[in-house]
């Protein structure tokens, strides 16, 4: 059996997330339908990240096993012919038999995008969260920098999650502003369900009341983190501002 790795880009607006669900449009389900058409066999894909409803991706990774002998390039070109325009295969490669898109990953990187001005946008309404309040980027970046390391992120886990271990290691976080767009990026070994959106919503809550004092904003955020209680954190930022931008693997 061959093991094929795909890198996917998609607009998640019209989908109920990555994971296949009965009678609902999902990224995984749509890709598998296209693969079945292409290979004339039933295909099951494995995704690196189970993005939620409305969340996008620039660098989602998936793999699947097949005994079909078509060239690798045909998986990319063929799928891009069969898939809807809001899902694109940016690359395809044949990988080792033990490669697993989810369990072989060493980190995932997410980006949250905010439109920070006093009126919304018709063009970025599906990809950026319109946030008209002032954002102290220095305070946001200070909170981001303080997150590097291993933490118990129970305060930012979606209610009802079945994950037993709430500890994640953050490798890098940062915030910057380009014109009217504010970006927050977080890279970690793993993420709890709803974690990034809860972190962003809580950061916005903290900096809104920090009076321009980054140290005060960090203290507020750390207090929420240490409580390990989701009810203490801020509301989750909307899904449409979030994108999975990269998944890393060890070089072999």
Catalytic residues: 52
- Distance set, CA 65 to CA 3, 57, 62, 82, 96 (Å): 5, 22, 11, 19, 11
The DSSP result for 130-141, as a single string, is E--S---HHHHH
Q: Are 148 and 168 in contact (CB under 8 A)?
A: no
How far is residue 25's CA from residue 47's CA, in Å, rounded to a whole number? 16
Q: Are 38 and 29 in contact (CB under 8 A)?
A: no
Q: Are 109 and 189 in contact (CB under 8 A)?
A: no
* Per-position b or e across 178-192, b if 16+ CB within 10 A of its CB: eeeebbbbbbbebbb
The DSSP result for 13-26, as a single string, is GGSS-SS--TTS--
DSSP E strands in 142-221: the ranges are: 149-152, 167-178, 181-188
Backbone angles phi and psi of 189, in degrees to 5: -70, -30
How far is residue 210's CA from residue 77's CA, in Å, rounded to a whole number? 51
């Amino acid at each position: 059996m061959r093991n094929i790795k795909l890198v996917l880009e998609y607009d998640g607006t019209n989908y109920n997330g990555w994971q296949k669900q009965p009678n609902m449009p999902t990224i995984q389900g749509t890709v598998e339908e296209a693969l079945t058409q292409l290979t004339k066999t039933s295909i099951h894909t494995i995704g690196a990240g189970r993005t939620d409803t409305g969340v996008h991706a620039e660098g989602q990774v998936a793999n699947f096993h097949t005994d079909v002998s078509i060239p690798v390039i045909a998986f990319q070109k063929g799928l891009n012919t069969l898939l809807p325009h809001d899902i694109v295969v940016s690359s395809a490669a044949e990988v080792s038999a033990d490669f697993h898109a989810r369990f072989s990953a060493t980190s995932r990187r997410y980006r949250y995008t905010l439109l920070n001005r006093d009126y919304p946008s018709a063009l970025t309404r599906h990809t950026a969260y319109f946030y008209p309040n002032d954002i102290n980027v220095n305070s946001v970046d200070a909170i981001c920098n303080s997150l590097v390391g291993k933490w118990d992120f129970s305060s930012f886990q979606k209610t009802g999650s079945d994950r037993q271990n709430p500890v994640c290691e953050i490798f890098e976080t940062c915030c910057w502003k380009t014109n009217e767009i504010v970006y927050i990026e977080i890279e970690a070994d793993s993420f709890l369900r709803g974690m990034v959106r809860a972190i962003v919503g809580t950061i916005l809550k903290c900096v809104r009341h920090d009076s321009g004092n980054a140290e005060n904003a960090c203290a507020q955020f750390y207090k929420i983190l240490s409580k390990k209680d989701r009810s203490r954190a801020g509301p989750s930022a909307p899904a449409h501002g979030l994108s999975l931008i990269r998944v890393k693997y060890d070089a072999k």
